[in-house]
Every structure is written in structure tokens, then in C-alpha cells.
Amino acid sequence: MAGNKRTTIPAIDPHTVGGHSSSAWNPEQVGECLIAAYTILDRCPDSHGPRGHGNAWPTVVTDEQTVPEPDGSRVRCAPPSPRELTHMEAALDWLRILGQEDQVTAQMVSHWALTAARRHSVKILCQRHGWALATFYRKRMNGLAFLATHLNIKAIPVFHTRS
């Protein structure tokens, strides 16, 4: 295999990245972070326009502001923490970087992450946009791999979305 020369990205040394125990980024981790970013974005309070008039009635919690529990009850979501907001901003910024490389792939990755965060069907997403499912998955994987490579080259530490 002398003709097949692969370039590999070295793993990030935890001692060189601010003391974080981290490993190299992979496409699955990038995807999880993008999905988490859209989930956090959905948890942010609305901030459209001026506050408006208030009233003395108690606040009504809608289904969009709650999370279903296994027993069927619903629990209200807490607003995102500052750390979650920082990770969200960083992850959404990766889409800008991907967009500079390939706008269509960035659009597909962005739509995929939003669809996955809201637990909607990827098949219906592809039908609405007229994308072939196989092409969509190929471009999504290529986009996530590009971002993982970019993050590893820039030596950005892995942040974990799960506690």
C-alpha cells in the first residue's frame, strides 16, 4: 500500500488544552453538539420586541416549554446555563465555518441538527426540500467529518453534551 498515503490528525493531548480531559473530535460528537445546540436554543426564552403589557394572571405553561416524562407527566425546562449557552454559540458558529466551505452541505447539516433536536422525521425533511435521502446522509456525514477535522486541527477541546 505504498500508493495509499493517509494523513491522520493527531489526538489532542489533554495537558496541552487547558487541562481538560479531552480526546480528538469525531463526526458523531460534532453531530451531538449541534443537536444539543438547537435543543438549548429552543430552551432560550423568547426575546422578540418589547415586553408589552403585563397581567396578574399566573403564567400558563405550553407544551413547547415542557418535557414529557416516562410516566406521562410533563416537566418544565429550566433556562440554559451560561456554559450551555457558550457551547451552543460555539457549535452554531461551526455551521458558519462549514458554510464557507460548502453552503449546501452546511444547510443540510443545519436542517438535520434542528430536525433531530425537535425529534422530527429526516425523511419528511428531505421530501420537503427535494433532497435524495442517500445524498442527504452522505453530505451530512461529509460535513460532520469536515467539522471534526477542522476542530482537531485548531486543537479545540471536546466538550461533552451529556452530564
Listed by start position, the domains of the chain span: 24-44+68-153
Q: What is the mean pLDDT of the chain?
A: 80
Q: How far is CA 4 from CA 1, 7, 10, 154, in A?
A: 5, 10, 19, 25
**Segment 29-47 mean pLDDT:** 90
Say if CB 104 and CB 86 are below 8 A apart: no
DSSP secondary structure of 38-94: HHHHHHSPP--S------SSPPPPPGGGEEE-TTS-EEEPPPPPHHHHHHHHHHHHH
**Segment 125-147 mean pLDDT:** 96
